[in-house]
Structure 1
């Protein structure tokens, strides 16, 4: 009886490990597919409208006039949040403070944005922020871009 129980437990543990490896493989494949076309940057996002104030790690992907944000630990192909370049306002730029320093990468810079009625913050490296601001400023002529004086 003990042999069969040990063998059953072994099969269950092997199945659990196999499922964990498959899930990790799917997440890795998803990230590779997101980064395949280029125009991606690692960035954290915090939605100020929701009231939760939680930083979520993700990948920003530039697609035309949108920055599509995908959670880094996820399986879906659809973006969780989309930042539209047209009418986007950059409200503030700052370095992480307090508990944010533990949640974000050491070289992170935070930029607060207003996209219509939606207010959010993006945290990214200085190089990624420079690229984001260049993408924002390179919009077609006649598009309203509002970079506040604090930038």
Structure 2
């Protein structure tokens, strides 16, 4: 078989793999979103360089936790899980510098504190209202007098 036929076959196999990956991403997104409570949520995984380290994803409320799923992954489980009891809202800010290119145009950066350290999320203003409501809506019997962590 000539070399050009090998190259053509390899290109065909690569194209099929790319199409299968795209179809897998679409199916995964549909499965994650089917029960509602999902929204676009970016998560900052690296804080080494200012304004860098953001990954696009999908957030989903699941009882007492906020689950974050990467967009470009086929893994069915969440990459990060934030518990309502240990998450404290700090403030919001507008994206700065390289963040403006990494994040969606209408998203704001939300800074939170956890026992493991600071966490930065990016979401739309309407999602922020839902996020703040979710944080404040603790289960019955929540001790509202406890000091913030």
Please tell me the TM-score bracket, short chain as reference: 0.7 to 0.9
User: Aligned-pair distance for 1:9?
Assistant: 2.5
Structure 2 unaligned blocks of 5 or more: none
Query: After the TM superposition, which of the residue ranges 94-103 and 67-76 deviates more from structure 2?
Result: 94-103
Matches within 5 A, 1:66-105: 66-105=65-104
TM-score for the superposition, normalised by structure 2? 0.86
Measured on the aligned residues, the alpha-carbon RMSD in Å equals 2.1
- For the residue of structure 2 that corresponds to 1:9, the secondary structure is helix
Matches within 5 A, 1:9-28: 9-28=7-26
1:1-59 Cα distance to aligned partner (Å, 9 max, x none): 7xx433333222111111111111111111111111111010111146x6465011000
Picking from 36, 39, 46, the partner of 2:37 is: 39
Aligned-partner Cα distance in 2 for 1:75–1:61: 16
Aligned residues: 144
Aligned-partner Cα distance in 2 for 1:9–1:93: 51
TM-score for the superposition, normalised by structure 1? 0.85
- For the residue of structure 1 that corresponds to 2:76, the secondary structure is coil
Q: Is the 8 A contact 1:94 1:109 kept in 2?
A: yes
User: Aligned-pair distance for 1:88?
Assistant: 1.6
Aligned-partner Cα distance in 2 for 1:130–1:26: 31
Structure 1 unaligned blocks of 5 or more: none
